[in-house]
Amino acid sequence: MGGVIELDDLTLGYERHPAVHHLSGAFAAGSLTAVVGPNGGGKSTLLKGIMGLLRPLSGRVRLHGPERRDIAYLPQQVEMDSDFPITVLDTVLLGHWRRAGSFGRFDRAMHAAAIDAIDAVGLAGFEGRLLGSLSSGQRQRVLFARMAAADSPVILLDEPFTAIDARTTADLLALVLRWHEEGRTIIAVLHDFDQVRRHFPATLLLAREAIGWGETAAVLTEANLERMQRMGEAWDQAAEICGRGAA
């Protein structure tokens, strides 16, 4: 099966200074891919580009099958207003927004799916709790429940296990692996190489440019990691604007 998300000579950045530089490749349908690399290497920028939140400087993102509204996206460190009076159930129901329409009409099946999603992340009985009363780990579980309710074929996760406890990480990672078994296409920005080696079959090693993209064992080699380190040390924040591929 071909790639569900194809990157064609993609450059992303800010004011034409590239954060992701001429990246080509594809995320296959049903694949589970980790995106790893140094801080500032373009990992979060890549997800924003796939979501259409950042316009390419050159090249393009091609979607084969899903539309962008069919993609579930969890940004890094989602900000939540702890004073906003919204319950866990209402937050998870927002995962149905594509099907509920602009008037937000949630039917019985949507409520049932939301309850099931809350149970799946280990928060059964928390449906009526206010989001602001939860710990950071519990809030992350709620966000995963919202994605589960969305039932999206493609899921993008930006450092989903940062700043949460080990038990929550294990539970949410198990949910990610279950989604993969269901045939969803999952792309996750991660920083724990051991975790990637254990659980993620494919890896994109990104340091603004792709150092390796393919089977994890073949990508996370000592030589590639040394190259990543050298590229990180050589970065120049005042580098000239990228002109390659410009119109």
Kind and range of the H or E element at 167?
helix 166-181
What pLDDT is attached to residue 1? Answer: 37
CA end-to-end span of the chain, whole Å?
33
pLDDT exceeds 50 at position 247: no
Give 87's pLDDT tier (boundaries 50, 70, 90): very high
60 vs 105 pLDDT, higher one: 60
Q: What is the pairing mode between strands 202-207 and 209-215?
A: antiparallel
Mean pLDDT, the chain, whole residue set: 89
Residue showing tokens 């589970």: 32
What pLDDT is attached to residue 2? Answer: 47
Percentage of the chain with pLDDT > 90? 72
pTM, 2 dp: 0.89
CB of 87 within 8 A of CB of 41? no
Cα 150-119-202 angle, rounded to 5 deg:
55
pLDDT in tens, 5-19: 999 999 999 877 789
pLDDT exceeds 50 at position 82: yes
What pLDDT is attached to residue 17? Answer: 78
pLDDT in tens, 164-217: 999 999 999 999 999 999 999 999 999 999 999 999 999 999 999 999 999 999
Can you give the three-state secondary structure of 139-151, one letter per residue?
Answer: HHHHHHHHHHHHC
CB of 187 within 8 A of CB of 101? no
Domains of the chain (ranges; CATH) run 1-66+155-247 (3.40.50.300), 82-152 (no CATH)
pLDDT in tens, 95-123: 887 665 555 577 888 999 999 999 999 99
CB of 61 within 8 A of CB of 49? yes
Cα 104-130-107 angle, rounded to 5 deg:
25
Q: In angstroms, rounded to a whole number, what is the distance separating the alpha carbons of residues 30 and 43? A: 20
- The residue type of 163 is A
| 69-73, 156-160, 201-205, 212-216: least confident range | 69-73
What pLDDT is attached to residue 91? Answer: 93
